Structure 1
């Protein structure tokens, strides 16, 4: 059995301020709807540096003191690669909020999240950001359907 596999490495960050969270209404991908800012890890870039860069590009904010709070992973339904999203959170940020070509960014109350059109699977992933007893949002394709489990 091979010990290597093709992986796509990405990140996402929940920026919070008391009971508010910063969301991105993503328009520029196959994963449309409300999410958190984030993106791909570039070659020879640390995971932390990548999330700081992606947040700056998508929101205009500079974040610090980011904490890894979990991950999301899934294997492509054709089984030829694994997609891993490192989940971070912080309440330390500075700068002027501005939207980007990725979509509009704005603050909402955490309690109102379900009122928005969320990207597929985002609500289950949000549980990992919020619950310290969870560390993984895992998706797999079985019997022609996606299955989801938080661990």
Structure 2
């Protein structure tokens, strides 16, 4: 009998205003750096509703007209884990950003300067794909023995 697979779902939403994008300056736990707002999908909410909720909680903005950009997933064959991140983009929002949240400080960053900031490799890898036509699927196989990313496969449509 094969082991059950554990699925976990997250969202991420790139919010754009002209040449600027909204990132969180996150300086806690093991996931430090500049990241777009996002987080866990709560059952039974939809993935889009989760992205909208997470942006509101982490930045104070109410977003709408989200465009699905692609999937990013980590697969751990040893632990039978599959973490799937649904990625969205929008330039439609209302409200004022918060000064600080438990996830970090929301800041508007010029799109061209963003990749020069400290950023996790998983964010850097998909960052330019948010601003291209079509969708993407990126699968990263986690190397459990060395505690790091292993094989990376990427598809664009």
Q: State TM-score, norm by structure 2.
A: 0.86
Q: For residues 49 and 134 of structure 1, what CA distance do their matches in structure 2 show?
A: 19
Q: For residues 114 and 69 of structure 1, what CA distance do their matches in structure 2 show?
A: 19
Q: Which has the higher strand share?
A: 2
Q: Per the alignment, in what secondary structure is the counterpart of residue 111 of structure 1?
A: helix
1:26 has 2:30 as partner: no
- Structure 1 segment 41-120 matched on structure 2, within 5 A: 41-76=41-76, 78-98=78-98, 99-120=100-121
Q: For each residue in 1:3-61, what CA deviation from the matched residue of structure 2 results, as whole angstroms up to 9, or x when unmatched?
A: x6211100000000111111111234422111100000001111111111100000000
Q: State TM-score, norm by structure 1.
A: 0.89
Between stretches 122-131 and 54-63, larger displacement belongs to: 122-131
Q: For each residue in 1:76-122, what CA deviation from the matched residue of structure 2 results, as whole angstroms up to 9, or x when unmatched?
A: 36332100000001000011101201001111111101221112321
Structure 1 unaligned residues grouped into runs of 5+: none
Between stretches 127-136 and 99-108, larger displacement belongs to: 127-136
Structure 2 unaligned residues grouped into runs of 5+: none
Q: Which runs of 4+ in 1 moved over 4 A?
A: 142-145
Once the 2 structures are TM-superposed, how far is the Cα of residue 140 of structure 1 from its aligned partner? 1.0
Q: Per the alignment, in what secondary structure is the counterpart of residue 138 of structure 2?
A: strand
Alpha carbon RMSD of aligned pairs, Å? 2.1
Q: For residues 106 and 59 of structure 2, what CA distance do their matches in structure 1 show?
A: 6
Q: For residues 89 and 134 of structure 1, what CA distance do their matches in structure 2 show?
A: 11
Cα pair distance change 1:128/1:109, threshold 3 Å: same
- 8 Å CA contact 1:11–1:85 kept in 2: the answer is yes
Once the 2 structures are TM-superposed, how far is the Cα of residue 134 of structure 1 from its aligned partner? 4.5
